């Protein structure tokens, strides 16, 4: 939904099944050397926050 939000808002794309949705598991995969990376932590937190809004 994040990718197509603008198109939905301006009407160039229409949702034909608004009551139909599907749960999805999303995983952030990264090398173990980034386990303590502050940038990785911020990015994963950003993803979690953004995806909760969808």
Residue 14 placed within a domain: no
Residue 29 placed within a domain: yes
Does 1 have pLDDT greater than 60?
A: no
Could you read off the pLDDT of 3-25 as tens digits, one per residue? 788 898 899 998 888 788 778 88
Show Cβ contacts of residue 8 under 8 Å, excluding neighbours closer than 6 positions.
Answer: 1, 14, 15
Per the model's pLDDT, the better-predicted residue between 46 and 2 turns out to be: 46
Pair 40, 15: CB distance under 8 Å: no
Residue 48 placed within a domain: yes
Pair 51, 26: CB distance under 8 Å: yes
- Which range marks the domain in which residue 39 is found? 24-54
Pair 2, 54: CB distance under 8 Å: yes
Q: How many domains does the structure of the chain reveal?
A: 1
* Nearest residue to 28 via CA among 10, 12, 48: 48
Predicted TM-score (pTM) of the model is: 0.55
Lowest-pLDDT range of 2-6, 10-14, 39-43, 45-49: 2-6
């Amino acid at each position: 939904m994040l990718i197509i939000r603008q198109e939905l808002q301006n009407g160039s794309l229409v949702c034909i099944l608004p009551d139909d949705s599907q749960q999805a598991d999303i995983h952030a995969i990264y090398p173990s050397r980034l386990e303590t990376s502050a940038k990785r932590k911020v990015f994963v937190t950003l993803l979690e926050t953004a995806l909760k809004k969808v």
